[in-house]
Amino acid sequence: MKFSVIITLKKDVLDPQGKVVQNTLVNMGMSNLKSIRQGKHFEIEVDENDQSTAERKVDMMCKKLLVNLIIEDYKIYKI
């Protein structure tokens, strides 16, 4: 079973990298750009048949290692 995990910085945490990417795109002429937040993406394959068990395991991986809960939010999607 495969999952996609998307990690983003929380709303009130400064994202200087996202800001630089945003400024560059604006400089390149993408004038309708409102905002950019940079994040991380993981594709995780779990050897498990039951979806809720598998999701619980992925959630545990996020909480224990992949995500810094002080500054980051995450979402898990089945793919």
Partner 1 sequence: MKSSVIVFPGSNCDRDIAIALEKMQFKNQMVWHKETKLPKTDLIVVPGGFSYGDYLRSGAIAGKSFIIDEVIKAANLGCLVLGICNGFQILTETGLLKGTLLKNKNLKFINKDVNLKVMNNYTRFTNKYKKEKILKINIAHNEGNFFTDANHIEELKKENLIAFKYCDEKGNINEDSNPNGSLDNIAGIFNTNKNILGMMPHPERMVDELISNKDGVNLFSSLFN
* Residues near partner 1 (CB under 8 A): 13-14, 16-17, 20, 64-66, 68, 70-71
CB of 12 to partner 1, least distance (A): 10
- Minimum distance from CB of 65 to partner 1 (Å)? 6
**63 φ/ψ angles, rounded to the nearest 5 degrees:** -65, -35
Closer residue to partner 1, CB minimum distance, 10 or 51: 10
Provide the pairing of β-strand 39-45 with 72-78: unpaired
Structure tokens at 56: 């619980």
We find the least distance from the C-beta atom of residue 45 to partner 1, in angstroms, to be 18
How far is it, in rounded angstroms, from Cα 34 to Cα 22?
8
